[in-house]
Structure 1
Amino acid sequence: MKDIKKLLTELKDYLLITIGSLITAISINVFMVPYKIAPGGISGVATIIYYLTDAKIPVGIAMLVLNIPLFLMGIKLIGKRFIIKTLYGTILLSLLIDTTQPLTDYFVANYLTSAEDYLYSPDILLYSIFGGLLLGIGLGLVFRSGATTGGTDLAARIVNHIVPAFTMGETLLFIDTGIIVFAAFVFKSVQLGLYSIVTLYISSKIIDAILEGVNFAKALLIISDFPEKIASSIMKDLDRGVTALKGKGMFTGSDKEVLFCVVQRRQIPMVKKIVREIDKKAFIVLTDIREVLGEGFKTYE
């Protein structure tokens, strides 16, 4: 039974890698390469090479070649199991970029502003926004499966492995900024660099949202002289659990119970009303929660 469950988990991971790679390939082909938007990453470097060689070196092949040294480093620092998934994602993405290019070229030519006029069209901003959105979704799905698509994605995973204090999105943002500056210099356009930054920023935020969850819940710490009444009302009226933590007021020296509970955002006004009706002098601390696992919220995967 455990072997079947493990197999299904692995299949799910590879399915996520496949879907994420396809979304990423579409994003690169439709919204980035035709308009010289290079939001960092090996894809950005490959885009520069693509134009410097007059399209003689396809983006997918360039990405595959550039990933070799990063793979060698990744094997040493992270392990073979991780590399197998990443190798699959990298090869698949490179193949999808080159194989879907004719289809995406047709779409760009018939439904989007021509590449020759992109600098004079306000639509380029829309392309950079939606390109970043799709790129973030695609890479986020790949990262969620425990893999990357190589390139600075792999570099970010390596840095995150060594320095976990930085999120994947933050690490990508730092590394890819340098590539954006280089691309703007090569293409001799500050405007293109700014569009690329928009794409990079949006994609990094989407990646973090997929990996860490969206802010859909709030955590509350409530300090009151009537903790039992407040806890009872929250559990009865909102059907939310409440935990009492032992605390001590350092100014007064008196022991107090600090209530801790996690609620949906829409329930915040009701919690405030309950506390206000019972104890107007109560002290409330409210903070965002990125992800909640457990009863009443998201189930464990």
Structure 2
Amino acid sequence: MSINERAIDWKEIFNLKNILLNLTGVIFITLALKGFMIPNKFLDGGVIGISILVHEITHIPFGVLVLVLNIPFLFIGKKILGNTFALQSLITFLLIAFSMTFVHIEAVTSDRLLIALFGGCLIGIGMGFCIRSGSTADGIEILALLTTRKIGLNVSEVIFGMNSLLFLAAAWYFGIGTALYSIVTYFSAIKSLDYISQGIEQYISLHIISAKSDEIKELIATKFRKGITIIKGERGYLPDNFDEKFDCDIIVTIVTRLELLRIKEEITQLDAHAFMFIQYIKDASGGILRLKKKH
């Protein structure tokens, strides 16, 4: 690791946008935990879920547990993702510990389904804001990243395996009903986290193969104002006519979920036999991704 990678980026730490995102995330997490989950003994996944379980068994303050149990993961995060990430995450852990210790919120409801859905959504939204600020609110994702490099499983598989053990422990201590609702809470949190951290307008790579490729190129570029990339390929090789092949253009463009359906409908009107497939991508930058408003 170079000196630059070890150095802390103080501009990133004190960036107003990141500070506001982090504070917003902590507020949502505190509301979810104090208003829904902890009073009703519901678990989330990861270190927060472990902290809730240990808190109920030992009665050690939750704020202390969530801070202490996350500290070891900071050293892993420091090695993998750098000092800036580790410091931002430490600030997040301290804020959660502070809010859980000193902020009082009455339980919003005792209805199990509402707790599972709204508690999960709120904590997922909170974690999503923390991730967008450049930190994490739960060290289990750092551990999953390290484990992935060692054993070859992807992050989601590692997290799912770790949380399965946690929910089994919840079933033994709280009962099978609460454990099952906790699983619903966890999946609500995951979906909410995805929407916030990746954005509702998640980018999608749309690939089109058509005999009317020139018309489709013009449609995408002029009507939808999207950039396109052309990959030269071959069509044909069908089971009954394997020797027949034709040169073709594979059109690639980056769209959002909100744009995908409309673009596909327009392409189908041009060529009902056009072959299309999509790939979900984590991030995209540069090129022509959005049409800027003209003032």
Shift of 1:89: 0.6
| Mapping 1:234-249, distance limit 5 Å | 234-249=220-235
List per-residue Cα deviations over 1:247-271 (Å, max 9, x = no partner).
Answer: 1236334322222234412332122
**Alpha-carbon contact 2:48-2:138 (below 8 Å) kept:** no
User: How many aligned residue pairs are there?
Assistant: 272
Among candidates 270, 273, 286, match of residue 269 of structure 2: 273
Q: Distance in 2 between matches of 1:275 and 1:124?
A: 50
Q: In structure 2, list runs of 5 or more residues that go unmatched.
A: 1-9, 238-243
| Mapping 1:15-26, distance limit 5 Å | 15-26=20-31
Partner residue in 1 for 2:246: 254
| Mapping 1:178-257, distance limit 5 Å | 178-187=165-174, 189-214=175-200, 219-249=205-235, 251=237, 252-257=244-249
Partner residue in 1 for 2:90: 87
Change in 2 beyond 3 A, CA 1:238/1:12: closer
Whether 1:45 aligns to 2:38 is: no
**Alpha-carbon contact 1:172-1:204 (below 8 Å) kept:** no
**Alpha-carbon contact 2:268-2:274 (below 8 Å) kept:** no
Report the TM-score, using the length of structure 1 for normalisation.
0.77
Aligned-pair Cα RMSD in Å: 3.1
Amino acid at match of 1:144: R
Q: In structure 1, list runs of 5 or more residues that go unmatched.
A: 114-122, 277-281
Amino acid at match of 1:65: V
Whether 1:287 aligns to 2:278 is: yes
**Alpha-carbon contact 1:40-1:176 (below 8 Å) kept:** yes
Q: Distance in 1 between matches of 2:152 and 2:125?
A: 22
Shift of 1:272: 1.1
**Alpha-carbon contact 1:139-1:207 (below 8 Å) kept:** yes
List per-residue Cα deviations over 1:87-111 (Å, max 9, x = no partner).
Answer: 11111111111111x2x1xx32xx5
Q: Distance in 1 between matches of 2:78 and 2:254?
A: 40
Whether 1:112 aligns to 2:117 is: no
Partner residue in 2 for 1:140: 128
Shift of 1:246: 0.9
Amino acid at match of 1:256: C
- Percent identity of the aligned residues? 27
Change in 2 beyond 3 A, CA 1:165/1:179: closer
Q: Distance in 2 between matches of 1:296 and 1:66?
A: 41
Higher helix share: 1
